[in-house]
Amino acid sequence: MVSPGWQSGRYLSGVGLTSGVQGERVGRTVLLTVAGSGLVLILVWALALRDTGPIGLLPGLVLLALALGLAARDRLRQRRVEDQNLLAFQLMADDPAPCFLTDAQGRMILRNAAAETRFGAEVTDLHRALERHVLSPGELLLRLQAAADATGSAREDLPGHGQVLRLTVHRASADRFFWRADEVDLAGDGQLPDRGERAPAVAVGGDLEEVPVAIMTFGPDGVMRIANHAARELMWKGDIRAAMFHDLFEGLGRPVSEWLADVAAGQHPGGSEVLRVRGEEERFLQITLRRYVDGGRPGGLAILNDATRLKTMEAQFAQSQKMQAIGQLAGGIAHDFNNLLTAISGHCDLLLLRHGREDSDFADLEQIRQNANRAASLVGQLLAFSRKQTLNPEVLDLEDVLADLTHLLNRLMVDKVELSLGHPGREVGKVLGKIRADKRQIEQVLINLVVNARDAMPNGGSIRIETEPVTLTEDMQRDRATVPAGDYTVIRVIDRGIGIPEHQLRQIFEPFFTTKRVGEGTGLGLSMAYGIVKQSGGFIFVDSVVGEGTAFSLLFPVYEGEEQAPATEMKRLVAKQGEGVILLVEDEASVRAFASRALTLRGYTVLEAANAEEALAKLDDKTLHVDLFVTDVVMPGMDGPAWVRRAHLDRPGVKVVFMSGYAEDGLAEDQARVPNSVFLPKPFSLNDLTNTVQGLLS
């Protein structure tokens, strides 16, 4: 009879194994069948050979009987071995570990209930049962079976995270093998885990478990078959999980499952793609996918590499290009706008020369001049964003800067908003390092930040400005920027206002982006602050929580050089009649007209040229004496420094005034190679122009 415990096991179809009692009955049936068949054959043969005589018939009968007897004996022996295997396997029916009886090809003949629970009732061969644990289950089974043929048994441990799958095989007969799969807990005392809870189906790397490259294999349907130790560490910090390809990755531009299916089917050569880890916004992996066939079943083999840093650098580069393009646009607009403002304010100055304060038109002209100056300030913000603003850096102590600025900042506050100043570093004995920056521009940055903080608290609150010395022992990665290790002076502007939504944090430094209502902001304040801080060699970061407030942090590297005396401004000279010949080169007609009239009114002889080529043509006259060149820097054709250097070949002593709507930084290298030259930024007033010319010629 079949033991009761075996009722939990399975006979697989097409095997032909039975219990021991059934085997005996079948054996007798086989023997009787063979004997009956033999007698029938003998009679047929006798009839066929009845004319050959008794001497010829007897040897044939003997040989036939011998052959039939040997066949019956071999069949009975095979049946006896199979019955013994069945009786032995019945003892393992209630074994808590998965047990199998297989043929030499790995096809399951018998399995117990634990095997069905652990590997699934639909699995009918050992290759499929082990494919989630080893990269090449077929090679493993052949190796173990060869060892079992030689020694009677073999064992191999398939390592996983915190446990191993111990696979043991015994030779049952010439083409039958007993298998047992034990899960050994390495984290504990080496005992088998509690069978009360079924362990999850795991994907362990088998032969590739310790390979230091993250490797996964997937079926065409996306089911993960294998994940070695490196892959599990990369994906789940060592945990063992079951997963689907499309549950792990996204961001290909089409369903990633289609990519896998095409590769597995041989319709796509595979290759490398950078995909986002699903559920993690800022984590990317480079997936190299190739077709992979194991045991005749196609799939995809994926090699994983962490591409987060590469993707971050790519995003930084894209953002840098975007900001550079906007900066170039802003700088170009500012240059053209400065030309217009120079003409507006310049001609306004010319009119004011003919209208005294008692004149009825004086107030209107003064209003025009003031608005032109306000527009010039707006252009300055555009230049600050594009990092093309003219800065006058000096060594600053931020505590002194804040002390001077506090009075103005307090005047910007409203009744319900309070402003406080703190120096946490001073309280613990730390000294705030000095920085090198343009004091006027740093003050403008702080004013913008404080005004924004005030506007973020319509119901009142408090604004706190703090300074603190910070030392970074290693590079800091923050908001797609890298802050090098070193000493920094940090200034923070903290409010308890409405906060900034997370999706807007990456846009707040972009020009013309504002969270204020229409008509309440230009969107240039923070972009200007960003440009000034970056141009000064610093960093600006923002932290905000909706409903709790916002904190802007400005990091400036501590200046370690020698403190230089501040540059002295050109002495303001009293306007007086001048003398000399000036060659004025300016492509903007309105600016050229204003500058020519302004210098002529001061008594200078002015020669005008619309471009560099025209200026050089005038200088071909060797009898022409010129005392000063006043030239725009950026012009169609040859630029200002280029034509001046050519002119100096024949007239080396002529002094130069360079005019430009861009910053002086763009001219610094060229200007250094032009002796006796000064820079006059646009827009400039009548007095700025005449005093610069008078100071250079005197």
Average per-residue pLDDT in the chain?
Answer: 76
Q: Is residue 607 part of a domain?
A: yes
pLDDT one-digit tens code per residue, 408-437: 788 888 778 889 988 876 766 678 889 988
Kind and range of the H or E run holding 690: helix 686-697
Q: Is the dihedral of CA 51, 52, 58, 64 positive or negative?
A: negative
- More confident call, 210 vs 224: 224
| 192 pLDDT more than 50 | no
Categorize the per-residue pLDDT at 551 as very low, low, confident or very high, splitting at 50, 70 and 90: very high
Nearest to 225 by CA among 255, 260, 253, 254: 260
Same domain, 218 and 291: yes
Establish if 566 belongs to a structural domain. Answer: no
Residues 688-698 have a mean pLDDT of: 87
Q: What are phi and psi of 491, to 5 degrees?
A: -125, 130
Both structure tokens of 481: 């920027």
370 φ, ψ (degrees, to nearest 5) = -65, -40
Burial 302-328 (b: 16+ CB within 10 A, else e): bbbeebbeebeeeeeeeeeeebeebbe
Does 513 score more than 70 pLDDT? no
User: The domain that contains 611 carries what CATH number?
Assistant: 3.40.50.2300
List phi, psi (to 5°) of 304: -105, 135
Choose one of 136, 152, 185: the last residue of a domain: 185
Instruction: Report residue 559: phi and psi, to 5°.
Output: -80, 125
Asked whether residue 37 is domain-assigned, the answer is yes
* Same domain for 401 and 373: no
The dihedral sign for the CA sequence 656, 657, 658, 663? positive
Q: Does 315 lie in the same domain as 298?
A: no
- What pLDDT is recorded for position 490? 93
Residue 13 confidence (pLDDT): 37
| Cα first-last separation, the chain | 126
> Given 256, 276, 306, which residue is the final one in a domain?
306
Mean pLDDT of 225-249: 84
Q: Could you give the number of structural domains in the chain?
A: 6
| CATH label of the domain that carries residue 334 | 1.10.287.130
pLDDT of 555: 94
Residue 584 has pLDDT above 90, yes or no: yes
Considering the domain architecture, whether residues 235 and 348 belong to the same structural domain is answered as: no
Query: Cα dist. 143→126, 137, 155, 176 in Å?
Result: 14, 10, 10, 15
The mean pLDDT value for 77-100 works out to 66
Supply the pLDDT for residue 17: 37
From 385, 413, 443, give the residue that closes a domain.
Answer: 385
146/39 same-domain check: no
Report, as an integer, the average pLDDT of 127-144: 77
Give yes or no: residues 381 and 408 share one domain.
no
Q: Residue 620 carries which DSSP code?
A: T
The answer to whether residues 47 and 168 belong to one domain is: no
Query: Any idea which of 333-337, 371-375, 485-489, 661-665 has the lowest mean pLDDT?
Result: 661-665
Provide the pLDDT for residue 664. Answer: 57
The pLDDT value given to residue 189: 42
> Do 499 and 528 reside in the same domain of the chain?
yes
| Residue in 120, 72, 73, 75 with CA at minimum distance from that of residue 100 | 120
352 & 403 share domain: no
pLDDT at 316 over 90: no
Q: What is the rounded CA–CA span in Å between residue 139 and residue 127? A: 10
Which of 29-43, 47-61, 645-659 has the highest mean predicted lDDT (pLDDT)? 645-659
* Residue-level pLDDT at 386: 56
569 has pLDDT over 50: no
Give the three-state DSSP class for 155.
strand
Domain CATH for 241: 3.30.450.20
Q: What whole-number percentage of the chain has pLDDT above 70?
A: 70
Contact 515, 476 (CB under 8 A): no
Asked if pLDDT for residue 193 goes beyond 50, the answer is no
Answer yes or no: do 360 and 437 share one domain.
Answer: no
pLDDT the model gives residue 431? 83
What pLDDT score was predicted for residue 289? 92
Q: Are the C-beta atoms of residues 432 and 398 closer than 8 Å to each other? A: yes
Question: 171 vs 188, which has greater pLDDT?
Answer: 171
Would 15 be classed as within a structural domain? yes
Higher pLDDT, 155 or 563: 155
Residue 284 located in a structural domain: yes
Mean pLDDT across 474-501: 89
User: What's the rounded Cα separation, in Å, for the pair 603 and 77?
Assistant: 131
**668 and 645 together in one domain:** yes
**pLDDT tens figures, 258-294:** 899 999 888 888 888 888 888 887 788 989 999 888 7
**Lowest-pLDDT choice from 1-15, 92-106, 488-502:** 1-15
The pLDDT value recorded for residue 7 is: 36
Domain that holds residue 428: 394-557
Q: Which two three-digit tokens encode residue 44?
A: 């047929």
Cβ-contact 532, 444 below 8 angstroms:
yes
Note the pLDDT tens digit of each residue in 442-469: 888 898 899 888 888 888 889 999 999 9
Residues of the chain with pLDDT > 90, as a percent, come to 13
Q: Which residue has the higher pLDDT, 160 or 370?
A: 370
Buried b (16+ CB within 10 A) or exposed e, 526-544: bbbbbbbbbbbebbbbbeb
Find the angle CA(214)-CA(217)-CA(223) to the nearest 5 degrees.
125
Closest to 346 (Cα-Cα) out of 686, 691, 657, 660: 686
Q: Pull the structure tokens for residue 16.
A: 């032909």
For residue 575, tell me if it sits in a domain: no
- DSSP assignment of 548-593 equals TEEEEEEEEEPP-SPPPPPPPPPPPPPP----SEEEEE-SSHHHHH
Question: What pTM value is reported for the model?
Answer: 0.43
Q: List 482's β-bridge partners, or say none.
A: 477
> DSSP string of 39-55?
HHHHHHHHHHTTTS-HH
CATH number at residue 472: 3.30.565.10
Shared domain for 340 and 277, answered yes or no, is: no
pLDDT (tens digit, 9 = 90+) per residue, 615-636?
A: 999 999 888 999 999 999 888 8
pLDDT of residue 574: 45
* pLDDT reading at 200 higher than 50: no
Domain-embedded: residue 191: no
Q: What would the mean pLDDT of 214-238 be, rounded to a whole number?
A: 86
The reply to whether omega before 683 is within 30° of 0 (cis) is yes
Q: Which residue has the higher pLDDT, 556 or 38?
A: 556
Q: Is residue 510 part of a domain?
A: yes
Tell me whether residue 244 is exposed, middle or buried, using C-beta atoms within 10 angstroms of its C-beta: 0 to 12, 13 to 18, 19 or more: middle
